A and B are shown apart, each in its own frame.
Chain A
Amino acid sequence: MKITVDRDACIGAGQCALVAGAVFDQDDEGLVVLLNVSPGEDMHAFVHKAAKLCPASAIAVED
């Protein structure tokens, strides 16, 4: 799995950090930061969920 985030698109709603806190966090500007570019199997479902919930389509996931 490979994840990319678009910080210009991010609106800081924190949905990603809420559902997959081990992979996404928010920095001092409240914008998304990626903690882990290719997380383990056990996180995949959560990462997909974060990408789906993101209101700004700022998270792209390649399996």
Chain B
Amino acid sequence: MEQTSAAQCPMHEVRRIPNDGTPLCPSPTFAIWREEGAATPLEYSDGHQGLIINRYELAKMILEDKRFSQTPARMPAHHGEELTAQYGLSSGSDLDLGNVLGLDGEQHARIRRTILNRYSVRSARGYEADMKAIVAQQLKHLLAQPTPVDLTKHYAQPISAAGHVRVLGIPEQFRQEYSQLFVGESTTDEKVEFIRRVIAVKKDCLAEDVLSDLLRSDLLVPEIEGLSLSLFVSGRDSVAYMIATCMTALLNNPDQLKALRDDPTLIMGGMEEFMRVGAMFLTLFPRTATEDLELGGVRISAGQSVSVSPVAANHDPAQFPDPDKFDLSRDAFGHVGFGHGIHGCVGQQVARVEIREGVMQLIQGIPTLYLVHAEQNEPGPFAHPVATYEAGEVIVGWN
């Protein structure tokens, strides 16, 4: 086995996440790095060096390995752009106790356990009728718009926000403010203040939803607030991103669109292919090695930061033959578009239902849908705190 297949760059060039790719067409640099080694040195936004993991096999090994910690939080932000604290991460406050993605071991398990029930496959099935209705209503709204129209703004984002609010159980009177604060811009303080107001009201009207479960649980107040902050932030733009990106993929590839219209059952496996080729995360949240170790031929030293790249791993030809080909009928299960391991996405089963409904009702409801322009077909700036792609405008029309 090769030793230290973390490729060392000959000229000590500084390697940052390449920004010349798009959600559906990753930067060719990832393939070059992947061929050089399973891991490549990466410079983080605070100037320290770590590793980016480009190969599928090593990606999964790291995500399953308990010798990596979620702390300290170090974000590989895109070069030249400021990190903002607006995500409420690494705020150094009590609320960190509930920030699932920043926790290890027992505390992580304790927090995560309180929300699993509402996001299980079984629960997701239970939301199907509600999600169908949310999507149907939004489709009506879309059809009432003059064309050309932006799918992201008039369809994907409202569906994402409404689905999220439904599962979380954010009371009716707060919904508009939720969208303003969490889909739009706001500070962590404003978000936390909002969460406290929501919780104060919710306490007196517990129901069958995530917030009610949290309030019934034995979690401490800062844990509840911190977890709520993570949850309020989490699904807010990712589902919207995926609906926009799935639609861009289909409209870019008319043969795949036709195949899906002809055989709607393709969506079940096809969903995994969407998640594979359209992965939103260029890197996951960095992990830090807690001891010296060697994995898959790569030596990683204690204290070193490691960032798994779902975009790179999902295009590893060793796992997915002809990886750049978008093919809804391929077996794409096992992709890491939702991450993997104990921090794997909690909301993934619910997200699948929302995305599936969003895509299927749209392609079946508007048979003549065509693409005018998708911003995401050109490279654009990443979103933060870890580098993720943005949905961008997806301008469509119909006859």
Interface residues of A (CB under 8 A from B): 11-14, 17-19, 21, 25-31, 49, 52-53, 55-57
Contact = CB atoms under 8 A, between A and B. Distances in A.
Interface string B117-128: 111111110000
Given A11-B342, A26-B120, A26-B122, 6 more contacts: A12-B119, A12-B120, A18-B349, A25-B122, A55-B340, A57-B64
B116 A29 contact: yes
Nearest to B116: A30
Main secondary structure of the interface of A (DSSP, over half): loop
Contact of A21 (B121, B123, B352): B121
B398 interface: no
A55 B340 CA distance: 6
A13 B333 contact: no
Interface residues of B, number: 25
Contacts of A31: 116
A49 B333 contact: yes
Q: Is the interface of B mostly helix, strand, loop or mixed?
A: helix
A25 B334 contact: no
B45 interface: no
A19 B333 contact: yes
Given A21-B121, A56-B342, A29 B113 contact: yes
B120 A17 contact: yes
A28 B117 contact: yes
A55 B118 CA distance: 19
B63 interface: yes
A52 to B, nearest CB: 7
A21 B124 CA distance: 13
A55 B116 contact: no
27 contacts: A11-B112, A11-B341, A11-B342, A12-B112, A12-B113, A12-B116, A13-B344, A13-B348, A14-B349, A17-B121, A17-B122, A18-B349, A25-B122, A26-B116, A26-B123, A29-B113, A30-B113, A30-B115, A30-B117, A30-B120, A30-B123, A31-B116, A55-B63, A55-B340, A55-B341, A56-B342, A57-B64
